[in-house]
Amino acid sequence: MPGRVVVITGASAGIGAALAQLLGARGARLVLAARRERELQAVAAHSAPEALAVVADVTTRADVQRILDAALGRFGHVDVWVNNAGRGISALVSELTDEDLDEMFLANVKSALYGMQAVLPHFRERRRGHIVNVSSMLSRIPMVPTRSAYSAAKHALNALTTSLRIELRKDFPDIHVTTVLPGMVATDFAANARHGAVDARAALFAQPVGEVAEVIADVIEHPRAEVYTRPQYHQQAAAYFAAEDVATVEATSPFAPRPR
């Protein structure tokens, strides 16, 4: 990790902030991007002496390119690009509007696509690099009906991530593309959710954000195609897809209705 240049989007709070502090403590050189300048500057100040804060909206392609340009201007190259920015929602399928779906795909899919497409020419030129896309366990098993559009968007992100990995495998084996699959994490993610959401920090089963950051740091050090942030998530997904009829699994916990 020492000396490695890592770009992290959505770095002003939550998983992004925790990852920045962890990687900074391990000697990484950081480029941190988010919309909230004050919070972003605070995270940068507590992460690494050289950390570069770039105020940007990753749902705008030009802003994502500006993040890359700033990283290259400061450090000369990028080793790892972490697409972490995203947004949740509370709406059943029967309630979804066009605006709901458009917002979920913009915030959770197109923002990551912009990051992948921005940094990819640089990685191809260097013939190495690592793209890490932070998805969700809900992308694999959409067990919470009120997160319908979020689950759908993250599912699309998984497909893009896998497709890029296969695209690059033959000619660029040293460009790694990873999907990270956390469950509920104890952050303020819900505070920005469209139509509001229950604060995950109040849930006893929510995963501490530091644990998620540790998993991402480990997959940067030891690249793998996919990683669940808890072993039981992998087991849960395997059981779900191995079922002869997934409806039988959906009739059991944790598929029970949850508060919004």
Strand order in the sheet with 5-9: 52-55, 29-34, 5-9, 80-83, 129-134, 175-181, 226-228
| 104 and 152 Cβ atoms separated by less than 8 Å | yes
Q: How far is CA 77 from CA 43, 64, 139, 155, 219, in A?
A: 22, 15, 32, 30, 20
Task: For residue 240, indicate whether it is catalytic.
Answer: no
DSSP strand pairing (129-134 vs 226-228): unpaired
- Selected catalytic residue, list 114, 150, 228, 233: 150
User: Would you tell me how many other CB atoms lie within 10 Å of the CB of residue 42?
Assistant: 15
Q: Which residues are catalytic?
A: 150
